[in-house]
Structure 1
């Protein structure tokens, strides 16, 4: 698949819609109206990450593999840096100490998808646990050889989004459960080492925003103006 001209992300127009989110701890479900937005066709690759940050990866891997072992904070800073590099207004306002961040809803720059946006985009109009047969659409524990794979190696969903399930988990903007887990953020999608039950559109995982894990990456979103 095309990973973007000159390292630029290929952005897919996601139509508006409604998605139902659920929380296992509280056993609560709620519907969210999602406005139309743009989402990258695949997770940020190593090549794209290095091009923007200038930070080479220490481990072996190919340019077309998704960048991993990046924290939520790394992803936020990347979004702003990519926005500045393309002459866009950064979506995040980070305080001088780098400890708090606010989203500028009026900005045209890159950002992380919200949890509702992510699930809406993943489902692409479907209502089941996945948008296709798992082995056809995702790298997971049973078919990955327990290793990371290049983006776009499985079939996309009907909206042209690759690797929404499997390969790497993806950071979302949202706090997971502030009452119990504080600042922990939402991760979605499942990864290359996960069993099939974790690679479903509704599955949620949490991560401390400063942690870096070898099966976690991220994908870029932009607000439509």
Structure 2
């Protein structure tokens, strides 16, 4: 019998075929009932991603189920962005209302990324359970698109408002008046305890939102385009999703290389940085 990897004979690993995702539809059945699939080549906006032959339908679906099984139910509520750490251009007096949502407990790992995308360009490749990093917002969008094509549930990036709301559920417990961590090493991987490298996800104490590493390890891509005037003038006070267009995407949270635990950055969606990864939200 030929040796196999994920159900595919080794002699077929070099083969590559192409089909369009728009033609792929699956039913919500157990992974064992999904037959091995053909390799996938994705072309979008002049950017091509080839998924090697050993990436199968069932392998991708396994990642989708793993992510879905590790969601935390975040209760809805309100918060105000009229805080000292928020730039003046973003301050509003009114509160923002967030509906209940499911937030990923963990940042997406290098293993999960490799299993779906077929490659891993992270700076710290020796740690498969560390968060994937050095991925652009556009690449993350393709990762999500592939998951959603194969999975009976759908995923997306959290909005900036959802991310901040989740963090603020614990603000009084974890963050002092100067923006520092009250519990230091217990709460996050940051410049003073990380050795200036990322660590396996889920090793610090979880947030009240049920998520790990929100304020450290790697910063996280959000769904929104950045517009300094959006929250100042929009009437969208319920579940805001950001501007309809822009040149930069919002990135939130601290990293293993700094102590800016609830930092907001604005990054070109094609840029890749070794301190930026992501986590997902599951659509209701």
Under a length normalisation based on structure 1, what TM-score does the superposition of the two structures give?
0.78
Q: Are residues 1:191 and 2:255 paired? A: yes
| More displaced 10-residue stretch of structure 1: 205-214 or 22-31 | 22-31
Q: Which residue of 1 aligns with 2:146?
A: 81
In 1, the alpha carbon distance for the partners of 2:182 and 2:210 equals 13
Q: TM-score, normalised by structure 2?
A: 0.63
- Runs of 4+ residues over 6 Å off in structure 1: none
Report the RMSD for the aligned CA atoms in angstroms.
2.5
Give the whole-Å Cα distance in 2 for the aligned partners of 1:132 and 1:160.
18
Q: 2:97 aligns with which of 24, 33, 45?
A: 33
Match of 1:26, SS state, is helix
Kindly indicate whether the alpha-carbon contact (under 8 Å) linking 2:122 and 2:134 is maintained by their aligned counterparts in 1: no
Query: For 1:155 and 1:213, how far apart are their aligned partners in 2?
Result: 26
2-structure distance, mates of 1:182, 1:126: 30
1:67 equivalent among 132, 143, 146: 132
1:42 is the counterpart of 2:92: no
Q: 1:83 to 1:159 in 2, by over 3 A?
A: same
Give the structure 2 partner of residue 123 of structure 1: 168
Mapped contact 2:122–2:133 kept (Cα < 8 A) = no
- Contiguous gaps of at least 5 residues in structure 1: 89-108
Q: How does 1:194-213 map to 2 (within 5 A)?
A: 194=258, 196=259, 198-200=260-262, 203-213=263-273
Point out the structure with the larger strand share: 1
Contact 1:21 1:116 in 2 (8 A): no
Aligned residues: 196
Correspondence 1:1-225 to 2 at 5 A? 6-7=62-63, 8-9=66-67, 10-21=70-81, 23-26=86-89, 28-29=91-92, 30-57=94-121, 59=123, 60-88=125-153, 109-124=154-169, 126-127=171-172, 130=175, 133-177=183-227, 182-194=246-258, 196=259, 198-200=260-262, 203-224=263-284
Deviations 1:166-187 (A, max 9, x none): 11000011122267x9421111
In terms of Rg, which structure is larger? 2
* Structure 1 contact 13–36 (Cα < 8 Å) conserved: yes
Aligned partner of residue 144 in structure 2, secondary structure: helix
Which stretches in structure 2 are left out of the alignment for 5+ residues? 1-60, 176-180, 230-244
Change (3 A) 1:170 1:193: same
**Distance (Å, rounded) in 2 between the aligned partners of 1:110 and 1:132:** 33
